[in-house]
A and B are shown apart, each in its own frame.
Chain A
Amino acid sequence: MTGELVGTVTEEEKNEILVLYERKMGIEELAATLDSDLLSDDKKESLQDKMIAELGKVTVNMQLWWDRMYEKYRWKSIHGHKWNIDFQTCEIFLIE
């Protein structure tokens, strides 16, 4: 991963954000399944509603995780840059 290494999180903390990240990707990739005829129109609609609600939740929860981690670790930050996590190593990088 490129960028400046500014800190690490614990394995448990990494798993928290990993689940959220995977869930977000999962919901995003679920959208394309709505074209299939596997569900009735009613079921499709409720699936879509659930997707919208869950995507909102997961996005908020991801931001809350970063806020909580920053509060705990006080990583270096630069205006206009953002932090990234390496899921293999639990390392946090500051990238432009």
Chain B
Amino acid sequence: MNNNLKIKMGSLPPSWRGLDGLPKTITFCVTENCNLACKYCYMTGKNHFKKMTFETAKRAIDFILSDTDNFKEASVVWDFIGGEAFLEIELVDRITDYIKQQMFLLDHRWFNSYRLSFSSNGLLYGTPAVQKYIKKNKSHLSVGLSVDGNKIKHDLQRIRPDGSGSYDDVVKNVPLWLSQFPNASTKATFSHDDLPYLKDSIINLWKLGIKNVAANVVFEDVWQDGDGIIIEQQLKGLSDYVLENKLWSEYSVRFFDPNIGKPLKEEDAGRNFCGAGSMLAIDCDGNFVPCVRFFNISLNNREPIYIGNADTGINQDKVRPFLALNVKSQSLPECMTCDVATGCAWCQGCNYDMADTDTIYQRAIYLCNIHKATVRANKYFWNQFECVTGLPSERIDQEGENRQGIKKYLQFITSDDITPHCAYRNTKGTNNIMAAEVLEKGLAYCSKNGYTPAFLGIPGETDSEKYQEYIVIDKAGQAGNTVSVFDNTAENQDESGVGILLLNRNNIQNLYEIIEKLFTQLYRVNLVIEDLFGWDNEDTELYRTELDKLVVLMADKYMQGEELELNVLTDIWNLKAMKNCDAGINSFSLAPNGRIYMCPAFYFNDPDSHVGTLEDNVTIKNPQLLLLENAPICSACDVFNCDRCKYLNKKMTNELNIPSKIQCVVSHIERNQSMKLQKLIKENSSCQYENILGEIYYLDPLEKLLKI
């Protein structure tokens, strides 16, 4: 998985953007009839009698194609909706033919850049008439089918007029649909009643082969107390499922969009995220409205806002309020300053329908708590993602987000007896245990200061279930570990897919054997050398030999489709810059004594080397020495996954920012073996990497530095 650069989770295939990125969308409501009566449908006025005539459509098309002043876009999406548009496929076909012929005969620019779009409930998808239409227009067509999740959830909402569910009849058309539109997504909609089925629903859609799920929640006033807890639990469960099954590179659901749940940027305030007003929708009578949600059949409390028709043209004064809309002008002040504002969506039509007066400038905020719960689960997913994969979270802004935007961790050293997870060990025989009071204070400190807690060991003498939601790193064999630690052995494997292997110099010759065993259960191993300060040339040579054997093993596994990950060999392939020890910058450790350290190694070495307490702020003297830019050797180095252990630096060179020679040599041995493995895999597969490793002449970048 590590070799695949694409993290798909949370993103959706881009919609067609035409020539200039902003195609005009023109929607025809060809019928107000539907063969379903979905409980949550906003079109509450659907009926069996009203449909568009061809003449009405023709008048609208003639008007639109002749009005080049108001329709200046380079590209167009001709969209068909109902009710259920496929109920009127013959009418749609006739309208489509007319559009195509007229665009061509009039030499209209849209002939060179148009699409036909449908949102359908899928019941009629396999009928000969619909299939004939699809074949006729294949290269210009996109069709979305609505499948809501699993059978229980779908049939709870998407019912026929007689009350029976529609799941089975829709699902039988999914394989045909996916064969014709392989990248299609479905828009599963969730409401109060069906939240308990959210996790299973998304999984079911993925299992049906629908890899992109544009899931959303209804905007209306349906939410009840406790719904936030349910959606958060459901999404966290889904998150665990994704990580356990390594689905992040192939599957996606919008709830895990890494861009949601951030504060608004200044420029966001002046934008609008709804296309009402820049789109045009035409009802069965030929009336123009800003979007389908402003149709008469879509509104419960308000009159439609008509912005024109084919005979009178478009009333620009009616359009102006839509064009002028932005986030700020329709939002409450607290929404503008909300810490998790991005991705909190709204529907302009719903806003209008629910507003206290007949205005489009009052944003409905019924889903506020649901959005906040979604963001909590979203953050949980990406935190766990980082922890499990070792890859950076997609939530980190690619445009150089400031350090405060990056995740900060507080590791809880729950006792002096913990199994070490990095290059440290309690050699003094102390027996301190973190008291519940310190632990609670630590969690409060995290909450107040924006730290993500990570438990080293299971908190003793406390209600362990209470801490299940947190990252737990503990010795292998324990239930509930996020990451298991294997202390110089491959024994006691548990259900976690990721493990840390601690290795000391007495076990170098067993490295291959241990990792081979671990790979029978784990897909990722983080190798940590715990006593590098004691290694000599003989040790490094032995280490190189063992890595050599692992290169062959892993290359074989890759050929068989098993993309195993060993941090020292595979992480560098996806890195373009240093990503390593964050101790003292974004990661600190809380010891049983209530003091805060740069990392556990400093605590176990000297309990007086703390950098703060829970009561005081963390204070580090010469903090610039922790930064890469103040580390001259590391700045010149391209072993981006090197441990850069600050404790080891201090211990061996007396400088936090200067690595020891053994650190550099071992890292470069790993780099060279990584290069070998990468070449072997590249020769035999189409794998692509962010970082292609080349030959270098040195094992210690100081040599390179001194040559310049």
Contact = CB atoms under 8 A, between A and B. Distances in A.
A29 B136 CA distance: 7
A72 B111 CA distance: 29
B19 interface: yes
Interface residues of B, number: 18
Interface in A44-63: 47, 50-51, 54
Interface in A21-76: 22-23, 25-30, 32-33, 36, 38-39, 47, 50-51, 54
B104 interface: yes
B137 interface: yes
A32 B136 CA distance: 7
A23 B100 contact: no
B206 interface: no
A32 B94 CA distance: 11
A30 B104 contact: yes
Interface residues of A, number: 20
Given A23-B111, A26-B112, A50 B100 contact: no
B139 A50 contact: no
Given A26-B112, A29-B100, A38-B98, A50 B105 contact: yes
Interface string B111-145: 11110000000000000000000001111100000
A23 B136 contact: no
A43 B432 CA distance: 93
B104 A27 contact: yes
A32 B103 CA distance: 15
A29 B137 contact: yes
Q: Give the interface centre of B101, B103, B105 by most chain A CB atoms within 10 Å.
A: B101
Given A26-B140, A29-B137, A38-B94, A19 B113 contact: yes
A47 B103 CA distance: 11
A50 B113 CA distance: 18
A22 B113 contact: yes
Contacts, number: 49
B97 interface: yes
Given A15-B19, A18-B19, A26 B104 contact: yes
Nearest to B141: A29
A19 B103 CA distance: 14
What secondary structure prevails in chain A residues at the interface with B?
helix
A1 B473 CA distance: 41
A25 to B, nearest CB: 5
Contacts of B136: 29, 32
A30 B98 CA distance: 10
Contacts of B111: 23, 26
A30 B19 contact: no
Interface in B4-27: 19
B101 A38 contact: yes
A23 B100 CA distance: 11
B140 A19 contact: no
A19 B105 contact: no
Given A15-B19, A19-B113, A30 B140 contact: no
B414 to A, nearest CB: 49
Contacts of B94: 36, 38
Contact of B19 (A19, A28, A50): A19
Contacts of B114: 22, 26
A25 B98 contact: no
Given A22-B112, A26-B112, A33-B100, 11 more contacts: A19-B112, A22-B113, A23-B111, A25-B139, A26-B114, A27-B104, A29-B100, A36-B94, A38-B101, A50-B104, A51-B104
6 contacts: A26-B103, A26-B104, A33-B100, A36-B94, A36-B97, A47-B105
Interface of B: 19, 94, 97-98, 100-101, 103-105, 111-114, 136-140
